[in-house]
Amino acid sequence: MLGSIDGVGQPESACPVMAGPLCIEWIKGWKAWQDEHPSLPTDELYDQAVECVRTEGRVSISKLRRQLQIGPTRATRLVEEMERRGVVSPPDPDGQRHVIDDVEPKAA
C-alpha cells in the first residue's frame, strides 16, 4: 500500500506531523521580521487607500478593490499596512475593522 509501512495506514515518516508546526513557526518569524522593518517600500496606492477608508468612514476590502481596481491580495496588504500604521483597528471578533482617527501618526 502506498504511504504506509504495514498496510494499516500509518505514515512512513513524521514529516507531515512536523511540517505543520515548522511552517507555522516560519510564518510567525517572517511576520515578526516584517513588523520590525517598516522601512520597506510602501505600495504606491497606499495614500489613495487611506483616503478611501477615511472618506467612507469604514474599512472595506471590496470597496478598496473596486475604487483602486486591484486584486484581493493587494487590498488586504494595504489594509494590513494601515493597521500597522495605526490608521485602522485590528479586526474585532466579528472581523470588522474600524477607522481609528483621521490623522496618521508620523513615521519615525
DSSP 7-19: SSS--SSSHHHHH
Q: How confident is the model at residue 31, as a pLDDT?
A: 73
Q: pLDDT (tens digit, 9 = 90+) per residue, 48-98? A: 999 999 998 889 999 999 999 999 999 999 999 999 888 999 988 888 999
Domains by residue range for the chain, with CATH: 43-103 (1.10.10.10)
What's the rounded mean pLDDT across residues 29-45? 73
Q: What is the mean pLDDT of residues 6-21?
A: 57
Q: pTM here?
A: 0.58
The 10 Å CB-count burial string (b at 16+, else e) for 11-49 is eeeeeeeeeeeeeeeeeeeeeeeeeeeeeeeeeebbeeb
Confidence category of residue 106, pLDDT binned at 50, 70, 90: very low
**What nine digits make up the cell of 90?**
485590528
